[in-house]
């Protein structure tokens, strides 16, 4: 069973202090009291803690767990397998602490970690890459072997600190209940270095950096739009950065625009410079047209969350057709789907996408280890779709997306 419940975070408006509740995928916070909008910014990853019920005289230890919510893809002899994952994993490998956060994080409201939180925050020792690898190992058991290429497309990668203290053995401070574990060390503070957290959540005003206008976006938006000066912005390390965009015009005024990342990458170990190279590499049943030898090859990916199978299908379909997009000075006036899959996540699917369309498939196992892919630049491209009863359809590209898949994606 896939558990798709999201964490809830209790929190206060940075402007007026009013209490608020967020979902872990929320990025844009709009205060119901003072109406001020702010964008949540984390250096690195988001860090939460679980509430405790310990008495004030207990010395609290906060044990770190990586939390991964997202999609796993694996390329093997039978093609690409995928699944959705929602799990946590120790960020310090310790036999004397529970192996995961368990289901408690879904029943309780979390809070953001801040430097003034009392307690000993144990420093993580397993980095994010290694933790997702270990998680992937746990969740890809049923995939066909051998796995030749693997990818994790994270919706969220965050850290959850769970409180413990030493009493009758190691005590879970959430419930004040013994864990059944005995600490391995007499002095846990010494055995598990850490201290006060040096992290806090930050807020950015949602004002357009270019013109000062109020930017728009849904609560889980990773790209905000300024309708005044027609620009798009995504969070960088400490401020908003401009996102280049293009669109394919539509003659219909009823069109719904879906956002896609178009990624130009240097591929080493395979001739894949131009669209003509792609037609040959994927053995597409198409006669080479003039201009295809100089038309650059690019990877495409949805810029919105959708089920793993649909994400991969759309990424492949668009990469193989390479829609012609012209840079337009204005955003579409029509409905635009929220960008909630950042380009960094879209990059993770590139190798799986490539492995899936190379022909003959029999040469892929030998090719893969020698392939290098270096992303160089990207563009956000809006493609028009027509709303039919069950699907959104782009006839020119022969691509359809089930409307129910898009609705469902809100729960992912
Ligand atoms: Zn407020
Ligand atoms: Zn602006």
The SS3 call for residue 333 is: coil
Q: What is the mean pLDDT of residues 247-261?
A: 89
- Whether residue 199 contacts residue 219, with contact meaning beta carbons closer than 8 Å, is answered with no
Residues, the chain, total? Answer: 412
What is the Å distance from ligand 1's center to 206 Cα? 14
Confidence of residue 38 (pLDDT cuts 50, 70, 90): very high
Question: In the chain, where are the structural domains located?
Answer: 8-202, 244-411
Q: What is the mean pLDDT of residues 364-388?
A: 95
Counting ligands in written order, the one closest to the CA of 242 is 2
Q: 189-199, pLDDT tens digit by residue?
A: 899 999 999 99
Pairwise CA distance, residues 145 & 78, whole Å: 9
What is the Å distance from ligand 2's center to 209 Cα? 7
- Of 312, 378, 376, the residue nearest 342 (C-alpha): 378
pTM metric for this prediction: 0.93
The pLDDT value given to residue 3:
45
Q: 161-182, pLDDT tens digit by residue?
A: 999 999 989 999 999 999 999 9
The pLDDT value given to residue 2:
39
Residue 95 CA: distances (Å) to CA of 44, 100, 170, 183, 331: 27, 11, 12, 9, 54
- Whether residue 155 contacts residue 84, with contact meaning beta carbons closer than 8 Å, is answered with no
- Whether residue 313 contacts residue 301, with contact meaning beta carbons closer than 8 Å, is answered with no
What is the Å distance from ligand 2's center to 184 Cα? 57
Across the chain, mean pLDDT equals: 92
DSSP conformation letters of 46-106:
EEEE------TTS--EEEEEEEEEEEEEEEETTEEEEEEEEEEEESS--TTS-SS-TTHHH
What is the Å distance from ligand 1's center to 278 Cα? 52
- Of 218, 406, 410, 384, the residue nearest 311 (C-alpha): 406
Query: Above 70 in pLDDT, residue 185?
Result: yes
Structure tokens at 234: 């995504």
Pairwise CA distance, residues 114 & 117, whole Å: 6
How many CB atoms are located within 10 Å of the residue 23 CB? 12
What is the Å distance from ligand 1's center to 13 Cα? 5
Pairwise CA distance, residues 409 & 153, whole Å: 14
User: The tokens 């729960």 sit on which residue?
Assistant: 411
The strand order across the sheet containing 37-41 reads: 28-30, 37-41, 202-205
Counting ligands in written order, the one closest to the CA of 32 is 1
What is the Å distance from ligand 1's center to 156 Cα? 25
Counting ligands in written order, the one closest to the CA of 13 is 1
Pairwise CA distance, residues 218 & 351, whole Å: 30
User: The tokens 């089930």 sit on which residue?
Assistant: 402
User: Across the strands, what pairs with 160?
Assistant: 48, 65
What is the Å distance from ligand 1's center to 239 Cα? 21
- Whether residue 164 contacts residue 59, with contact meaning beta carbons closer than 8 Å, is answered with no
The pLDDT value given to residue 133:
85
- Of 384, 306, 298, the residue nearest 341 (C-alpha): 306
Looking only at Cα atoms, what is the longest distance across the chain?
77
The SS3 call for residue 404 is: helix
Structure tokens at 295: 């038309």
What is the Å distance from ligand 1's center to 204 Cα? 14
What is the Å distance from ligand 1's center to 12 Cα? 8
What is the Å distance from ligand 2's center to 227 Cα? 7
Q: 110-154, pLDDT tens digit by residue?
A: 999 999 999 999 999 999 888 888 888 888 888 999 999 999 898
What is the Å distance from ligand 1's center to 38 Cα? 10
Pairwise CA distance, residues 312 & 316, whole Å: 6
Counting ligands in written order, the one closest to the CA of 14 is 1
Query: Above 90 in pLDDT, residue 357?
Result: yes
What is the Å distance from ligand 1's center to 209 Cα? 22
What is the Å distance from ligand 1's center to 15 Cα? 5
What is the Å distance from ligand 1's center to 29 Cα? 9
What is the Å distance from ligand 2's center to 212 Cα? 6
Q: 142-158, pLDDT tens digit by residue?
A: 899 999 999 989 878 89
b/e for 306-324, b at 16 or more Cβ within 10 A? bbbebbbbbbbbbbbbbbe
Q: How far apart are the first and last CA of the chain?
A: 14
What is the Å distance from ligand 1's center to 19 Cα? 8
């Amino acid at each position: 069973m896939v558990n798709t419940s999201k964490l809830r975070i209790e929190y206060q408006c940075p402007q007026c202090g009013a209490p608020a509740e967020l979902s872990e995928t929320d990025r844009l916070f709009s205060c119901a009291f003072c109406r001020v909008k702010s964008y949540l910014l984390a250096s690195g990853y988001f860090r939460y803690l679980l509430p405790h019920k310990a008495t004030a005289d207990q010395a609290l230890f906060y044990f770190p767990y990586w939390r991964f919510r997202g999609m796993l893809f694996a390329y093997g002899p039978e093609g690409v397998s995928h699944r959705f994952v929602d799990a946590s994993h120790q960020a310090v490998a310790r036999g004397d602490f529970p192996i995961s956060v368990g289901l408690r994080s879904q029943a309780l409201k979390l809070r953001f970690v801040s430097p003034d939180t009392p307690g000993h925050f144990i420093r993580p020792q397993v980095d994010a890459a290694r933790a997702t690898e270990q998680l992937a190992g746990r969740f890809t058991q049923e995939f066909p072997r051998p796995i030749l290429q693997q990818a994790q497309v994270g919706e969220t990668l965050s850290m959850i600190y769970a409180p413990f203290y030493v009493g009758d053995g190691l005590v879970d401070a959430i419930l004040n209940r013994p864990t059944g574990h005995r600490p391995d060390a007499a002095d846990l503070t010494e055995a598990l270095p850490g201290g006060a957290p040096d992290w806090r959540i930050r807020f950015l005003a949602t004002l357009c950096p270019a013109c000062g206008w109020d930017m728009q976006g849904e609560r889980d938006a990773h790209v905000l739009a300024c309708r005044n000066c027609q620009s798009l912005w995504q969070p960088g390390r400490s401020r908003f950065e401009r996102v280049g965009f293009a669109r394919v015009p539509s003659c219909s005024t009823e069109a719904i625009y879906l956002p896609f990342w178009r990624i130009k990458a240097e591929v080493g170990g395979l001739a894949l410079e131009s669209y003509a190279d792609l037609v040959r590499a994927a053995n597409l049943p198409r006669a080479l047209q003039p201009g295809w030898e100089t038309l650059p090859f690019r990877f495409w990916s949805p810029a919105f969350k959708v089920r793993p199978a649909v994400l991969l299908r759309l990424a492949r379909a668009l990469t193989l057709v390479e829609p012609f997009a012209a840079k337009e000075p204005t955003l579409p006036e029509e409905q635009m789907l929220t960008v909630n899959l950042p380009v960094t996540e879209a990059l993770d699917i590139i190798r799986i996408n490539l492995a899936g369309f190379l022909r003959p498939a029999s040469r892929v196992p030998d090719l893969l280890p020698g392939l290098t892919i270096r992303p160089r630049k990207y563009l956000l491209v809006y493609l028009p779709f027509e709303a039919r009863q069950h699907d959104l359809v782009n006839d020119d590209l022969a691509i359809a997306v089930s409307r129910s898949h898009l609705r469902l994606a809100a729960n992912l």
